Amino acid sequence: MTNLRPLALTALLLATTPLGLSATSLARAEESAPAPAPAKKVFAPIARTTYRTAQFRLELRADTQTLARLSPTADAGFDFTPGAREAERQGDGYVHVGDIHLRLRTEGGAWRDFSSAHQRKPIRRLPAGGATLAAADITASLGADSPLRVERRWVAEGGALALRFVLTNTSKQAVEVGGLGLPMVFDNIITDRSLEEAHAQASFVDPYIGRDAGHLQVTRLNGKGPALLVLPEKATPLEAYRPIQQAGRGAKPGDIFTDRSERGQTSEGFYDWTVASKGFAEQDWKTAGEQWNTPTSFSLAPGASRTIGVRLVTSPSIRAIEDTLVANGRPVAVGVPGYVVPTDQEAALFLKSPKPVAKIESYPAGALAATPVKSGSGWSRYAVRASGWGRATLSITYADDTVQTVSYFITKPLDQTMADLGRFSTTRQWFEDPSDPFKRSPGILTYDRQADKIVTQDPRVWISGMSDEGGAGSWVAAIMKQLDNPDAGEVAKLERVVNETIVGGLQVAEGEHAGAVKKSLFYYAPDEFPTYYDPKTNWKSWTSWSKKDAGDLGRSYNYPHVAIGHWVLYRLARNHDGLVKTHDWRWYLDHAQTTAVAMMRDAPYYAQFGQMEGDVFVDILKDLRREGLTAKADELETLMKGRADHWKTLPYPFGSEMAWDSTGQAEVYAWMRFFGHQKQADETREVILAYDPTIPSWGYNGNARRYWDFLYGGKVPRIERQIHHYGSTLNAVPLFDAYRADPGDLHLLRVAYGGLMGGVTNIDQEGFSSAAFHSAPDMMSWDPYSGDYGMGFFGHAYAAATYLVNDPTFGWLGFGGNVSQADGVVRIEPKDGARTRLFVAPIGAWLTLEAGKIEAAAYTPATGKLTLTLAARDAATPAARLLVEATTKGARPYRPAGAAFERGAYTLPLKDGPSTIELTPN
């Protein structure tokens, strides 16, 4: 485990926000901040040489010929590299595009490491001219004992910029290259920038680790084009994507493949485009899970050479990335609905490449079956079926021996997955101890899968205290599971949690602070409980809150968690019979509203920002209106409008307790839409797409960027790109809404569904749910803590739906359901985790059930006829509650004939068997 102090809650970096900083917030930020870093040495500017290609204006450092600036000709004022930080990043130990990392050995010898950035020596310039902009022999920087000569060339070709290396074995023995990395150094640094500056100047990098078809996409934080693509040239597969650790912190002793720039919440750090990784797998990654691709090496005989390289091109926009790949002769894969495949769902894979497919293989064998399907779209179509469980890969070999890998994750049918999560969280994570000194009983606490036990104490006290994200995640997941998949026994336990532990414990029950939420039930008080705390654990950091600090009411992010508990029980009490018994529906809805109002009263500072799971406040307001509770609705709407009006004045209203964040955008979007601020909603949508990609990998598809929350909710606390942390599903919610308003933009649906389904991969075969997947190649495994996963499951349960789409390129598609066609009728059977929501894109019909389940739907394009088949009733659900919305301009709202309309929905009595309901447009 890397020994890193948690970073500051960076309110200090938000000082430019119009609302300013309170003294309390400043104190909180200072309290949590690490010791000041040593002052960076600032050098005099280094001379640069400027070059131009059709797509770029670039500058190379005169001394090293490494990349110092890369501006697209379409926006010459923008720089994809951190060139503006040259004054602090020019010494030895700072990597740049144009450097190289090598791990080499000769027969019988040990691996030896060589880096062109570790201790630089003067380069030997080589002749340039024609397409070659600059060339140099950089061998001297590798050290006197390097067995390879390395020559580097910058080449302008077809408007693109190529970076090529020629590796030549100058020794008398064959040399095995087991580690070959090309540092990819782009400006993802947010340090010392306001949000406005970061969105205007910084970029994020997402990898498709797909061997010969792999690439990097570098997207600007504001979501605007052009985007940058880094493509492989011959013999340069993207086999792995290795993080470059910070020298002196995080790196192992003797590691020279490092960078001296500080990594942290304001800077994710840089990565190596890793061409060969066997040497890393044998040493650094020995205990890791399976890599994205099989680690390989290659050998150079004495005197032999190999040329490797990458090509940099621009894409006019994020949505045009795949078209740009096709235009550059790259193999492209599009998975529908994505790359997470439940065993009862039919998926599709579309391939387009310059050469035909020679073979497709599954690893493990039999896990995936890809069967060719007739397609007249110009794409090769394959039906994909899955069996088993867990990670799997399709390896596609083309006629020119190019190999593309597509990473999949196989899950159980989602109704089983939902049942697993509910059962695990309410049994294995169930905590009942009337003698617990912190009054957490009954509760659902964080679970440690590695130790297979509940985490009753952690020096990050919130993890064991049922609040903040790292502690509330488990009980939030358990209660959100009930929204569409209620189980009477589980609901009874959750009523006890809400009424015995949350209200009056975690949440103030009465008085002037009624409804306010504490930061944690667990706290550190050695004088009060001298024998309780594990003496082998460090309780000296800022994370070990005192009773007073744990009882603080000022962190707004804790309020949506509690509001969710009340809101779900309201929905269950209102729409089902006999499930909720302690209080009636009005009591729970009233407490949901009180919680939201208390957030604005008792936690106003952080409430100025969007909240993770903040969408629930929109639903609480809508439900208050539908129930006729006008005064309470008016009070809540006034408070929320004040937030929205403030956000409307900001160019990028996505502040947080962090310098940059990806979890408030969803609530900002929701209120912008609710109050009719469509321009700001559209801008929010584009910002989300900047950090939320579509990539042929279950891990990165729809994976909203997050790289610091292992510090706060994981068992292995370090800076690391997190795979499907809760941002994936939370950011899917606004993208789904945006797609329903514009079904012609399939990119939105693909990213959203990637995030929605990514949130399912955290749930293991027994129902344990992990905070996130560790993407660093020395782990490649799920974090053992459940931590803050529940925020992600909120997004999944809230947005789970099936989408029926007729795409002009790919034809009829089902996202979340299986599609069939016969006699002019298109039929879809929902297989998503809720089976209560369906969007029929050609007619803009958004159908949602508050009670009941959809077994199937049939749509007749020629007539517009829509028929629903609803599942049989059960003891708690004698009737279905159907809401119908027309989401697109000009769409006619559909309605079921003869159904009673109550509280904004149609009540449909259910039968002992399936019911068929016909809907017609008004």
Residue 473 backbone dihedrals phi, psi, to 5 degrees: -55, -40
Q: What tokens does 470 get?
A: 């790292």
Give the pLDDT confidence score for residue 376 in this predicted structure.
76
* pLDDT computed for residue 41 by the predictor: 63
pLDDT at 897: 87
Percentage of the residues of the chain whose pLDDT score is greater than 70: 95
| Structure confidence at residue 39 (pLDDT) | 52
CB hemisphere CA count around 100 (13 angstroms): 33
| Alpha carbon distance 446, 785 (integer Å) | 7
Angle between helical axes of 665-674 and 615-626 (0-180°, round to 10): 30
The dihedral of CA 467, 471, 477, 482: what is its sign?
Answer: negative
Helix then strand then coil, % of the chain, to nearest 5:
25, 30, 45
What is the pLDDT, as a whole number, of residue 45?
81
* Span 240-251, pLDDT tens digits: 999 999 998 878
Per-residue pLDDT, 521 = 98
Q: How confident is the model at residue 38 (pLDDT cuts 50, 70, 90)?
A: very low
- Whether residue 667 is predicted with pLDDT greater than 90 in this model: the reply is yes
Report the run of H or E that residue 166 belongs to, with start and end.
Answer: strand 160-169
Strand-pair partners of 56: 72
Average pLDDT of the segment spanning 867-871 = 98
* pLDDT of 115 higher than 60: yes
pLDDT at residue 21, as a whole number? 24
44: which DSSP letter? P
Mean pLDDT rounded to a whole number for the chain: 94
Instruction: Identify the pLDDT of residue 12.
Output: 24
Tens of pLDDT, residues 812-855: 999 999 999 999 999 999 999 999 999 999 999 999 999 999 99
* Tokens 């030549």, located at residue: 168
pLDDT band at 42 (very low <50, low <70, confident <90, very high): low
Question: 192-207 pLDDT, tens per residue?
Answer: 999 999 999 999 999 9
List the beta bridge partners of residue 871.
none
Tens of pLDDT, residue by residue over 738-795, are 999 999 999 999 999 999 999 999 999 999 999 999 999 999 999 999 999 999 999 9
> pTM here?
0.95
DSSP string, 386-428: E-SSEEEEEEEEETTS-EEEEEEEEE--HHHHHHHHHHHHHHT
Burial of 489 (0-12, 13-18, 19+ CB in 10 A): exposed
Higher-confidence position of 904 and 5? 904
Which pLDDT score, from 0 to 100, does residue 249 have? Answer: 85
Q: What pLDDT is stored for residue 40 in this prediction?
A: 59
From residue 725, alpha-carbon distances to 662, 756, 774 in Å are 11, 11, 10
φ/ψ of 480, rounded to 5, equals -70, -30
pLDDT of amino acid 252: 87
In whole angstroms, how large is the CA radius of gyration of the chain? 28
Number of residues that make up the chain:
922
Asked if the model's pLDDT at residue 34 lies above 80, the reply is no
Tokens 């007539």, located at residue: 863
Question: How would residue 9 be classed by pLDDT, with cut points 50, 70 and 90?
Answer: very low
Is the per-residue pLDDT at 488 higher than 90? Answer: yes
Residues 53-81, mean pLDDT to the nearest whole number? 97
| 665: Cα separation from own chain's centroid | 13
Consecutive H or E run containing 607: helix 604-607
Contacts of 49 (CB under 8 A, 6+ apart): 59, 60, 62, 134
% pLDDT > 90, the chain:
93
Contacting residues for 774 by C-beta, under 8 A, at least 6 apart: 710, 716, 720, 722, 723, 780, 781, 782, 783
Q: Are 285 and 777 in contact (CB under 8 A)?
A: yes
Q: How would you list the strands of the sheet with 403-411, edge to edge?
A: 340-342, 403-411, 390-398, 357-363
The three-point CA angle 715-719-725 to 5° equals 65
Q: For residue 706, what pLDDT band results from cuts at 50, 70 and 90?
A: very high
How would residue 922 be classed by pLDDT, with cut points 50, 70 and 90? Answer: confident
